[in-house]
Chain A
Amino acid sequence: MLNQQAESMFLFFSEIQEAKILDSDGFCLGRLYDILIEPIGKYAKAKILIIEKKGLPRSWAVVPWSVVSQVSKGCLRLNGKAREVIFAPLLNHKADLSIRRDILDQQVVDMNNQNVIRVNDIHLLMAEKDLVVAHVDIGLRGIVRRLGFEKFIDTLVRIFDKNSRYLQKLWLISWKHIQPLSINPVSMTIKVDVSQKQLNEIPAADLSEIMLDLSQKHRVALFKILDITTKSKLLCTLDFKEQKSLLEEIGEREAVEILNQLPTDEAVDLLSELPKSNVHNMLRLMESKNAKMLSTLLGYSGESAAGLMTTEYVAVPETASIEEALVLIKEKTPKAETIQSIFIVDQENHLVGSTVLRHLIIADLKDSVRKAAFKKTVSIYMEDEVKKIAFLMDKYKIYCLPVVDSSNVLVGIITIDDIFSRLVSIAWRRSKKKKHL
C-alpha cells in the first residue's frame, strides 16, 4: 500500500505537459505550457507555472506554483478562481531556468559520467505540495513516451522478451549531477546552479572533452563560469586551435589573468600561437616581472630549450644547510613544476650543483647541501634543441634538466613531460614515413 502511494508521487514532465489547468470551480483555464524551476540544494523546485491559452493570438499566464492544489496525470487544479489569472500575449522569463526551454530536449552536462547528453524527458517528484525535479530521462523509452507510444511499444517488447533491458532499466540521471547549459542572455554565461562547484571538480582532461562536444557559444559560456585555477588547467589540455578561439572570445583582460596563472612553458606555447599584435597587448597588461620573462622566452624557437622550459623550479643557495634547504623547498612547493630535482646556486644564481629530494631527506640535517649534490651536474643551454635534451635525459636517466644561459646562470628547467609530446610526434612521423617507404 505504502509502496503504491510512493510510486504515484513520481511523474514525468511529458505526463503533465499540455495538462488541463482547472480552477477551484473546475473551470478550464488553459493548458500547462512550462514550469520555471529554482535550484534548492541538490534538487530544483518548481517555482512558477506558465499556462497557455490556445487561440489567435496565443496568450500566457504566469502563476506562482503555490496556488497549485492538486497534481495528477493530465490535470492540474488551482486554488484560486479563473478570473484572478491574467493572460498576456507576451511571455518573458529570460533569466529563470525553464523546463521547456532550458532542459527538455536540450543538451546538458552529466557531471557524474562527465559527458554531454540530451534530455528526453524529466522525472518529477511530488512531495507534499512541492514539485521537485528528481531525474532527467536520457533513454530511448523517454523518446517513446514523448511520442505517445509507450504502452504500445511496452506491450510489443513484452511479447518478445519479458525481461528485456528496455523495460527493466531506466536511463535516469539524478538532477544533482546535471548542469544545464542554457545561456543567460545578459551575462552570456551558463546560468549558474548550486552544482557549479561540481563542475570545477571534474578533472581538466575530462572537462576538455565535454567542451569539445559543445557548440562554440556554449563552450565560451561554460568556460566563463569556471574558477581561475580550473580555467588555466583546462586551457592547457586543449589543442592550439581551441585555445586560440577561446582566448579570442573571452577578451584580453581575462586572458591575461589566466596567463598569469599558467606555468611559463604553457604560457609561452600559447602566446607563440597568437598574432603578434595581440601578444604585445597582453604582455603590456601582465604583471611586469612575468611579462619580461615571457617576452624573453618568446624570442626563442618553440623547439629550443628556452621555448620549452618553465621558470617554476626549486633552487637553494649553496651556503644553506640541508635543514634550511628543506624549509625552502616546502615554501616553493605550491608553485614549482617539480620538487624531485633541486638545484644549488650561488649568490648570482649561477648553477653550481643539483640533487634530488630523496638525497636531502636521507641526509644529515646539519650537513651543507653541497654534500648531498651529485658529482656531476648536467645542464643545457637555452638554444639547445629537443633532440639533444632527449639524448641527455636518456643518457643520464634524469627527467629534469636545468637550463642555463651562456654565463651558467640558471634560468629554468625542462621536465620530461615538456618534451614528451614533441618526441611522440617526431616518432610518429618517422614510423609513418617508414610505412610509406
Chain B
Amino acid sequence: MDIETLYDKIYRYCYHRLRSREAAEDAAQEAFARWLASGVCRSESAALRYLYAVARNLCVDEYRRKKQEPLPQDLPAPDGALETLALRQAVAALSREEQELILMRYVNQEPVSVIAGALGVSRFAVYRRTSAALEKLRALMKEDEP
C-alpha cells in the first residue's frame, strides 16, 4: 500500500471539493489521522473507502462552515491547451455529484466498488451515474465544437 499515492488521491479529491489548497491539505491530513487511529482498514481498497468517506464528510463540514472560494489562478497550465480548457469548462458545468464521480472514477481511477463503498450507494448506481455524467460531458464538449 503506497501511502503517498493514497495521499495524492485524497488531497486531489478534497481540493476539488473545497477549492482551497490549505483547506484540502487540512482535510486530507485529518482523514489520514482518523484512518490510522481507526486501525480497522487494512487492505488498500478498504483504506480508500474509509479515507474517501471521511474526506467527503470533512469537506461537507468545511463547505458548510464557509462559502466556496473561487478557483485560484496558481493551477498548473494544461498541456493540450485549448482542448483541455474546453474540457475544464465542460466539467465545471456538471453538478457537484457528477464532478465527484468523474474525479474518483477517471482521474483517481478508483474501482467502482471503492466509489460505491465511499459514497454509500450500490455499484450499479455508481456505474449508471458515472456513465450518465460521461455522456453529459461528451454532449457538452460537442456543443462547444465549432
Q: Do A and B come from one complex?
A: no
* Residues of A participating in the B interface, judged by any CB pair closer than 8 Å: none
